[in-house]
């Protein structure tokens, strides 16, 4: 997308009538969204509890890596359309984009950040405001926000009992953007607009149509909440199918990539790629929100999660068995991020595998990734892993395991005597 030197994308000449937009949470979703609204001509205030995030945005150099984001934020801040602060201020629209984690063991979703964000804007709300929840959330969370605010602000009406024209409007509008293409997909993807009433949907549609070129699809809050979870669960189930197939092929001594390639010639079959497991903060997490809401009905979704979560241990076992022939040998793990060509280590199966191996083979395991610098800032533990450089990664390797097919790995080939383990099919003929 082309921008002019004021940070405008040329899609909306005058958005003054929409007033000030406040985006709560300047993370992977909130910051690109805030910048996109600012570039469409809105006046945007970004709110974050992290002073580091606030300072980085105000300095025009964002704390997260995403193609084109740095330039866009810099232009928006310089033009005066975007600024960040730690404390919510009055605005006309509020977009909540804070994390909704799940408990690691119980898999119960934690909506406390959404609730805290809602409470933080309670005091500055006024008649006519719109609140949009973007965080991936269990079904019913938008309503929960409305209830919580209705208790805080009895002087204002909320769309809880189907009231046609409440003082404050609420909608659930999930994003569907993929890291690496966020700025393009924010504009081009279709978007579900789930208002708590028809008037809420209309108001939120007006807001998003100021920069979204895709269709704004009207819906209601609960349907929209489940749609977001459904999309990521669909992908998780399909990746689980590919991962299960790879383990079946391992057992039967067949090449999974050949099986998939041939099966995909069927006009109605499209098997995804097996890998070391499923990572990231979305696909590996969101299906649990459905399971928590309807446990007895979510048998496939739960099993798919379990299949994908079991894949890293399968890869570790492959390495352990292969290393029986090379006691004391050097193991090189190629790629540590959650997927190729992103600097994100959240829920990374590659990092789990490398760390697990480093504990089983202390002093023998080298982890290599083009985004290794970001690993230090990520706060993810690395165990006994020795971090190495991409250039000389494979020198002296007894075993190389390709975990993430980063573009920069193209051309890397282990020596003739090295054992290769390749769950992503990088070195397949």
294: burial class by Cβ within 10 Å (0-12, 13-18, 19+)?
A: exposed
Q: Which stretch binds ligand SAJ (CB under 6 A): 250-258, 270-278, 298-306, 364-372?
A: 270-278
Q: How many residues at the interface with ligand SAJ, by CB under 6 A?
A: 20
Which is nearer to ligand SAJ, 70 or 273 (by Cβ)?
273
Residues 325-364 that bind ligand SAJ (CB under 6 A): 338-339
Q: Are 310 and 239 in contact (CB under 8 A)?
A: no
Which is nearer to ligand SAJ, 61 or 270 (by Cβ)?
270
CA distances from 401 to 246, 319, 322 (A): 16, 8, 11
CB 372 to ligand SAJ: min, Å: 18
Q: Where are the alpha helices (DSSP H) in 191-255?
A: 198-208, 221-252
Residues 365-384 that bind ligand SAJ (CB under 6 A): none
Q: Are 93 and 130 in contact (CB under 8 A)?
A: yes
- What is the number of other CB atoms lying within 10 angstroms of the CB of residue 60? 16
Site string for ligand SAJ, 275-294 (x = CB under 6 A): x--xxx-xx-----------
CB 196 to ligand SAJ: min, Å: 22
The residues, ordered by sequence, that sit 6+ positions from 274 with a Cβ below 8 Å of its Cβ are: 239, 242, 243, 245, 246, 256, 260, 311, 423, 424, 425
Which is nearer to ligand SAJ, 32 or 166 (by Cβ)?
32
Q: Is 33 in the site for ligand SAJ (CB under 6 A)?
A: no
User: What is the residue-wise DSSP string for 306-325?
Assistant: HHHHHHHHHHHHHHHHHGGG
Which is nearer to ligand SAJ, 146 or 278 (by Cβ)?
278
Q: Is 179 in the site for ligand SAJ (CB under 6 A)?
A: yes
Which is nearer to ligand SAJ, 282 or 368 (by Cβ)?
282
The single residue of 173, 282, 333, 339 carrying the catalytic annotation is 282
CB 425 to ligand SAJ: min, Å: 10
| Cα gap 301→298, rounded to integer Å | 5
228 carries an active-site annotation: yes
- Binder of ligand SAJ out of 272, 313, 386, 387 (CB under 6 A): 272
Q: Is 192 in the site for ligand SAJ (CB under 6 A)?
A: no
Strand order in the sheet with 365-368: 386-388, 365-368, 331-334, 399-402, 419-421
- Binder of ligand SAJ out of 178, 184, 322, 386 (CB under 6 A): 178
Q: Is 414 in the site for ligand SAJ (CB under 6 A)?
A: no
- What is the number of other CB atoms lying within 10 angstroms of the CB of residue 133? 30
CB 175 to ligand SAJ: min, Å: 6
| Cα gap 381→221, rounded to integer Å | 38
- Binder of ligand SAJ out of 107, 119, 176, 181 (CB under 6 A): 176
The label of the residue with tokens 């689980």 reads 240
Which is nearer to ligand SAJ, 117 or 304 (by Cβ)?
304
The bridge status of strand 419-421 relative to strand 82-85 is: unpaired
Residues 206-235 that bind ligand SAJ (CB under 6 A): 231-232, 235
| Cα gap 184→283, rounded to integer Å | 20
The C-alpha torsion from 232 through 289 and 213 to 197, rounded to 10°, is 150
Which is nearer to ligand SAJ, 39 or 232 (by Cβ)?
232
Q: Which residues are catalytic?
A: 228, 282
> Where does this chain bind ligand SAJ (CB under 6 A)?
136, 175-179, 231-232, 235, 239, 272-273, 275, 278-280, 282-283, 338-339
């Amino acid at each position: 997308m082309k921008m002019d030197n004021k940070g405008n994308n040329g899609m909306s000449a005058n958005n003054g009538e929409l007033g000030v937009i406040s985006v709560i949470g300047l993370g992977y979703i909130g910051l690109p969204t805030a910048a996109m609204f600012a570039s469409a001509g809105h006046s945007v205030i970004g709110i974050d509890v992290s002073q580091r995030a606030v300072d980085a945005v105000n300095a025009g150099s964002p704390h997260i890596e995403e193609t084109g984001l740095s330039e866009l934020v810099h232009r928006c801040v310089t033009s005066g359309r975007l600024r960040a602060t730690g404390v919510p201020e009055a605005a006309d629209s509020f977009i909540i984009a804070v994390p909704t984690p799940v408990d690691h063991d119980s898999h119960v979703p934690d909506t406390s950040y959404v609730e805290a964000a809602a409470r933080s804007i309670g005091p500055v709300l006024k008649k006519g405001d719109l609140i949009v929840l973007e965080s991936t959330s269990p079904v019913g969370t938008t309503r929960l926000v409305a209830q919580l605010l209705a208790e805080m602000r009895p002087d204002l009406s909320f769309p809880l009992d189907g009231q046609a024209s409440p003082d404050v409007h609420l909608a659930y509008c999930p994003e569907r953007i993929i890291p690496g293409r966020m700025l393009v997909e924010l504009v081009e993807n279709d978007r579900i607009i789930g208002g708590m009433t028809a008037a809420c949907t209309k108001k939120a549609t007006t807001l998003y149509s100021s920069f979204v070129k895709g269709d704004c699809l009207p819906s209601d809050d609960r349907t929209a909440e489940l749609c977001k979870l459904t999309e990521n669960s669909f992908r998780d189930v399909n990746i689980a199918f590919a991962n299960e197939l790879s383990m079946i092929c391992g057992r039967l001594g067949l090449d999974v990539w050949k099986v998939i390639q041939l099966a995909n010639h069927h006009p109605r079959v499209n098997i995804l790629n097996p890998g070391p497991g499923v990572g990231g903060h979305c696909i590996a997490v969101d299906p649990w929100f459905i399971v928590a809401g309807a446990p007895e009905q979510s048998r496939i979704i739960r099993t798919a999660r379990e299949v994908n979560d079991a894949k890293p241990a399968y890869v570790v076992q492959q390495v352990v068995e292969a290393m029986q022939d090379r006691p004391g040998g050097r193991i090189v793990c190629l790629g540590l991020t959650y997927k190729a060509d992103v600097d994100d280590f959240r829920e990374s199966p590659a990092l789990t595998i490398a760390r697990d191996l480093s504990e089983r083979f202390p002093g023998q395991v080298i982890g290599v990734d083009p985004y290794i610098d970001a690993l230090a800032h990520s706060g993810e533990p690395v165990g006994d892993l020795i971090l190495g450089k991409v250039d000389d990664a494979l020198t002296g390797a007894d075993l190389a395991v390709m975990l993430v097919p980063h573009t920069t790995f193209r051309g890397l080939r282990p020596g003739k005597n090295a054992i290769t383990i390749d769950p992503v099919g990088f070195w397949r003929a």
